[in-house]
Structure 1
């Protein structure tokens, strides 16, 4: 039988990671957030395009900003390897789509729960529609930062990509591809985790896009404390 433990790792951590980390999907976003938040960021990983950076945050403590790729399988695998490398608490700084116009373009939301309608969460033992909640301490810091809350539904494929209609779930006003599987993977590893989401619009210029990713990164950092 094939030994799956012998598969090559996704990450090749060159510079040590911090105990706390902001996780984003896109590597370019990881670079932008790291440049905004960190003093003297050094690249922790560039393997498979999953760029990651570690430096000193504004509170004087070490912080990593790391890319996870798209979707649940990538996020779960990357988080497992980051945990093995020393990461101990995380906030996902991601993007989502509003359902029925419930959230305006450019707004930020703290995720109060993520409903699992994705394959990764099922593979981790959760029933379809199970609600995952963020770590209470991180959630409290994010609430203190003044963020409004929303529930999110996580799926494998959005309707635009050929997926089925997004399941209706009470209290959820957004859909994404990573929040529930990330929280499920974090719970399995015993890693305190939470999620902050930005809601992109269709017509922002580059300055506007940079501004709201700066805001979501700052919010995630506030949730992680020192």
Structure 2
């Protein structure tokens, strides 16, 4: 049985990822910051809920200890929790705004991965999936024919570029662990007022594919539902 831990699993991409992986036979631990919403989501999914605030050392350590005590190992770690940040002009962005966005989107991944790494290393075929974005692609954000090149979001784009680079560096550091980044694509979620053209199921295609790949699967890649993404 494959044991999978997902951050931000109470809604949108995280919830749909959990649903699909449970359907595929995974034992899913649904992590969420809000206990009431997280528990309700886990109950609806048939998952086990574990409270986790990716910005808080004590919360993340407690979550890892909880999983160590109950499941003992994590085969697939999905770092999904993230925020877009304030929808304001670039000249109004502050250091506090940057600390919030990077604190969740990037530092949160480092914090969770560090805490859960001993559990991941116990797996026979360990996998880490980091949810990045095409908005973090240098190539796509310079293409005026793409949504990524039209929309301006300095903190979100920079944070997701950092997520993708962090993924490749982790993959190099840990040859025994498959570490990959997924771009959900422009999906209808809370991030965009549900304006994206893709369904939430389509948006989880790449995440689910990376989470369910075999031991011969790739590492250090950045993919969407159609294949390799440009850096």
TM-score (norm 2): 0.41
Q: Would you tell me which structure has more strand in proportion to its own residues?
A: 1
User: Larger helix proportion, structure 1 or 2?
Assistant: 2
**If the length of structure 1 is used for normalisation, what is the TM-score?**
0.41
Structure showing greater relative contact order (alpha-carbon pairs closer than 8 Å, 6 or more residues apart): 1
